Amino acid sequence: MTELGSADTVYTSSAYRTIDVGSLMRTGHPDIAEGDEHIVSVVRGMRARLGRPLRVLDVGSGSGDLSLLLVRALPDTAVIANDIAANPLAQARDKLAPYPTASVSFERFEDYSGEVDVVVSWGTHHHLSHDYLKHVAEILSPDGVLIIGDEFCPEYLSDTDQKRLAQSEEIEVVDGYLFDSAADVESYRSTGRVPDWNEGLEQARRLALWHWYKFVIDFAVAHEAWTVVMAELAICRDDLETGNADEHKTSPYLLERELELNGFSVVERAVIGDRPVELSSFVLYTCRPPAVPDVRTGA
């Protein structure tokens, strides 16, 4: 397989060709293994509720640890591990090879077609373009769900920021800056000037991230997970660089607003880890897609 992604990140770099970063993260990084368990329990509940085998797309599956847990827990479920990075996807293919209902898909999620009952986006949201939620809605079956969980930047948007964003339908991240008005985006593009509010949000994001990454890296050191330490140092650097589109974590509230703007309704919100808000990064949402209008009634 050749690389589809262009940037040199821990997911694409040849330095990680033989290292399974995804597996190492399950012990050397806080909250990921706990999030896996939560996702498996949500899919198991859905399988029981619908009473039929499911098709599950694991978007940005990395090396397939979650896909493996899903197919082991639900052997009649078709699990598709989807990623654009050749190294981890080859590792996922090896792990899933013994399971006939599992497969891999080496293509951008945005190009994936075919109906699925569950889209899982686990740790992938902050790597994707912010309009991919529209594609999720296109491929979900009518009774399908989106399970979306991420390593967010711990909530850095104040109540006032959130109230302001709740009023806007034009939320956009441009060069790493969060905008809530098309006019401000246009002005930024023509002058290069970032308004004070938007600049302040970016500074708040960086400070919140720095606090979080120190906790993550200390956790990895305490677990003697040195590969995770190195990977997280690189990821932290990328994330603190405002305009780095490959690594840009935003806040849980922002995803909630984006879900709302795209017509998704949240049926469950689970925060992983029992810590203060500044050290709460992993949040998982189970969401119903936008209702398809009834062609007979238009409702």
- List residues binding ligand SAM (CB under 6 A): 5, 11, 22, 59-62, 65-66, 82-85, 88, 108-110, 122-124, 127-128
Q: Give Cα separations from 71 to 22, 40, 55, 187, 265 (angstroms).
A: 17, 9, 11, 49, 27
What is the closest distance, in whole angstroms, from the C-beta atom of residue 102 to ligand SAM in the complex?
14
**Strand, helix or coil for residue 78:** strand
Chain residue whose CB lies nearest ligand SAM:
60
Which tokens go with 103? Answer: 């497969």
Q: Determine the Cα–Cα distance for residues 210 and 206; give it in Å rounded to an integer.
A: 6
Asked if 113 contacts 255 with a C-beta cutoff of 8 angstroms, the reply is no
**What are the helix (H) ranges across 98-225?**
132-139, 159-166, 182-191, 196-222
What is the closest distance, in whole angstroms, from the C-beta atom of residue 60 to ligand SAM in the complex?
3
What is the closest distance, in whole angstroms, from the C-beta atom of residue 297 to ligand SAM in the complex?
36
CA dihedral 119, 233, 5, 154 (to 10 degrees): 30
User: In this complex, which beta carbon is closest to ligand SAM, that of residue 22 or of residue 28?
Assistant: 22
What is the closest distance, in whole angstroms, from the C-beta atom of residue 105 to ligand SAM in the complex?
9
What is the closest distance, in whole angstroms, from the C-beta atom of residue 200 to ligand SAM in the complex?
28
Determine the length of the chain: 299
User: In this complex, which beta carbon is closest to ligand SAM, that of residue 31 or of residue 256?
Assistant: 31
What is the closest distance, in whole angstroms, from the C-beta atom of residue 93 to ligand SAM in the complex?
14
Q: Determine the Cα–Cα distance for residues 132 and 265; give it in Å rounded to an integer.
A: 16
Q: Determine the Cα–Cα distance for residues 72 and 170; give it in Å rounded to an integer.
A: 42
Q: Determine the Cα–Cα distance for residues 54 and 41; give it in Å rounded to an integer.
A: 14
The strand pair at 140-151 and 282-288 is best described as antiparallel
User: In this complex, which beta carbon is closest to ligand SAM, that of residue 140 or of residue 201?
Assistant: 140
